[in-house]
Amino acid sequence: MRETPRVPAGDRAARKRQAIIRSARAAFVRDGFRVGMDTIATEAGVSKVTVYNHFGSKEQLFLAVIGDALEEALGETVAGTAERLKSTGDVRTALVWTARAWVSGMTRPEVVALRQLVVNEVRRFPELGQAWKENGPDRARPSLVETFEHLVAEGRLDMPDVEVAIVQFYSLVLYPHIIHAAYGMTLDPETTEALTNTGVDMFLAYYKYRPDDLRQEH
């Protein structure tokens, strides 16, 4: 995969770059990875040379599309998770909010379609999988790690391996939706809400979470 060239700078260039990314996202979702750069350029209202000046290759353009789509889907979620976890007085409420926001963002039709494209192309271009991982829910990992380690230090969680616990949390509240989406199915709202609430409760119960008020009583 070729390296991305020096990106044109300035407000006009930034507007063109965003127009290319938006058009490329729609084209990839509609036509798959086989879509031609000519088509993307035409739909963005720029020349093919301009597309290559900004991104260098179709793979680099798709990486930019992934980053843009996941930022749109999860940017506020990542910030909201960090903000809510700053107060560890009610971790359950923070985790329920986080799970709901993750599911809402990651089950958007465009995000599901882009994820499937990554799965289809990842053998040829491993960078796509890494980009998906880094720009997806893993962006919330630092806040989760910080919170869980803090609670362990306070004696409010029995969690010997924080990294394993985070994967388990994803598995309870998010992965069922991703698996169903891979088969073109979605879970109904009632099931989604049940998975969220019971998943958080199972997670906290397994790791013996003690709310701050209960800890102070003992």
Helix (H, G, I), strand (E, B) or coil at 146: helix
* Side-chain-facing half-sphere of 94: CA atoms under 13 Å: 21
Cβ–Cβ < 8 Å for 10, 95: no
Give the amino acid at 48.
Answer: K
Q: How far apart are CA 205 and CA 82, in angstroms?
A: 22
Q: How far apart are CA 148 and CA 165, in angstroms?
A: 9
Note the pLDDT tens digit of each residue in 69-128.
Answer: 988 888 888 888 888 887 767 899 999 999 999 999 989 888 888 888 888 888 888 888
Structure tokens at 103: 């599911």
Q: Which CATH class is domain 1-56?
A: mainly alpha
Residue 201 has pLDDT above 80, yes or no: yes
All CATH 1.10.10.60 domain ranges in the chain, comma separated: 1-56
Q: How confident is the model at residue 9 (pLDDT cuts 50, 70, 90)?
A: low
All CATH 1.10.357.10 domain ranges in the chain, comma separated: 66-217
Given 1.10.760.10, 1.10.357.10, 3.20.20.10, 3.20.20.70, which CATH number is that of 66-217? 1.10.357.10
Q: How confident is the model at residue 205 (pLDDT cuts 50, 70, 90)?
A: very high
Structure tokens at 181: 């989406």
Q: For residue 123, count other CB atoms closer than 10 A to its CB.
A: 9
